[in-house]
Structures are given as C-alpha cells and as structure tokens.
Amino acid sequence: MAVQSYRELIVWQKAMELAKEVYLVTQSFPAEERFGLTSQVRRAAVSIASNIAEGQGRFSTGEFKQFLGHARGSLYEVETQMQLARDLGFINAAQHESAEKRSTEVAKLLNGLIRSLPSH
C-alpha cells in the first residue's frame, strides 16, 4: 500500500520527536543564546520533518529525494549544534546522548528511505 500522507512515514514521526526534544532541551539554554544557538538548532530541527513533509507532497521521486537530502543536511546541523551545546555546557551528557540516539535513528530511517526510492 502506498503512503497517503507524510504523517504515515515513521521517519517523519521520529523527526517530530527529535524536534520536540530539541525544543524542550533548549529551554534551559542561556538567555543570551535566544537569537543564537537556541534559534539555530530549533530551526534546523523543525526543518528535518518539514522537508520530509514537503518532499512527500511533491510530484516526482526526484524532488522527494532532493527534499530528503535537505532533511539529512538539517539533521547533521542539529547533531553539530547539539555537540556544541554539550561542549559549551548548555546541556549535560545525558541530554546529549538522548538527542544523539534520536538523531541516529532518524538518520538510519532517512538513509533507508532514500535508498528505497528509484534512482531514475
């Protein structure tokens, strides 16, 4: 059975969970980071699920794959920014590990979805 909506995609669901976690964890970032790292990592986290949704709504497999590539790029941004947050002491090791675990899961699902799509 074909996917009728991006909401059915496990990768979109997991990306939404990651975005929610990023939002929750960044609430404790320093106030002076509100327009810096907090904003940056939140935008990147939202971009993952948003690109999956937008790509699924496109008319061609090529466009879908392109948007999945954008989602993967945003995911790597989140990973980098969360590592920086850990290095700066904005989050603790457990928070970083939790986000990293979700991120790895999303990456595996994204890569699997990209590989499953025809390459023509």
Could you identify the residue written with the tokens 């991120």?
A: 103
Determine the residue type at 101.
Answer: K
87 — pLDDT class (breaks 50, 70, 90): very high
CA 12 to CA 27: how far, in whole Å? 23
Determine the residue type at 84.
Answer: L
CA 64 to CA 113: how far, in whole Å? 10
Contact 95, 81 (CB under 8 A): no
For the chain, list the domains and their CATH numbers.
8-116 (1.20.1440.60)
**Percent of the chain, pLDDT > 70?**
97
**pTM for the complete prediction?**
0.94
pLDDT at 112 over 80: yes
Token pair of 3 as six digits: 């996917």
CA 6 to CA 82: how far, in whole Å? 26
- Per the model's pLDDT, the better-predicted residue between 21 and 2 turns out to be 21
